[in-house]
Amino acid sequence: MSDTISRIKVSLHDGTIEIEGPEPFVEAQVKRFESVIIRSLAEDTGHTSRDRAANPPPKSHLKKDQGGDTGPGQPGQFHDVFTVTDGKVQIHKPIPGDNDTEKMASVAKLVVLALTLSGIEEVPSATVREVCSDQGCLNGPNFARTMKKQRALFVFSGRGQKLTLKFSAPGKREALEFAKSLDKQDES
């Protein structure tokens, strides 16, 4: 996975869709909105700037930190649980678990879910590790062992620093249910 930061901005006279983040994230979002962008460009052809000023297109509801659509299966669905900004995941709810091992497994589910919903299927373990550190539950010496114990949830590729996580089918279902349960919790 590349660390290259990419950006795309489509204006259509300030109806604006702007996406910025790691190249795979931006590519996934462009694919997701490609038909809308092409249709809007086709509809816009032949209009004068006076026509566009008199009848501006509706403002896009795309927000960089939510990935746009808030329907089922979209990152905005869980905006109270996590957000994705510039390809980085921020978790907003307390992480349940009796110890760091349980909490690291929970963080992994949320991080991989957030990025999967944003169009990034394979998540570097370093990304999960960074969010575990941000959440105060990183147990560095046991991180790799903890992740590899989650074989029912994730499919692993690579080794060492190049290790990536991707959901198994049951893993994605479990992560969605987990995020839904956190979304229903009231913060104390």
Give 113-148 as a DSSP string.
Answer: HHHHHTT--SEEHHHHHHHHHHHT---GGGHHHHHH
* Residue 129 pLDDT exceeds 90: yes
Average pLDDT over residues 101-115: 96
Q: Say which range, 24-38, 73-87, 120-134, has the weakest mean pLDDT.
A: 24-38
What three-state secondary structure class fits 28? helix
- Confidence class for position 50, pLDDT limits 50, 70, 90: very low
Q: Where are the domains of the chain?
A: 5-54, 75-184
- Confidence class for position 172, pLDDT limits 50, 70, 90: very high
Q: How far apart are CA 74 and CA 89, in angstroms?
A: 14
**What pTM does this model have?**
0.61
Structure tokens belonging to residue 160: 């060492």
CATH code of 75-184, in short, is 1.10.10
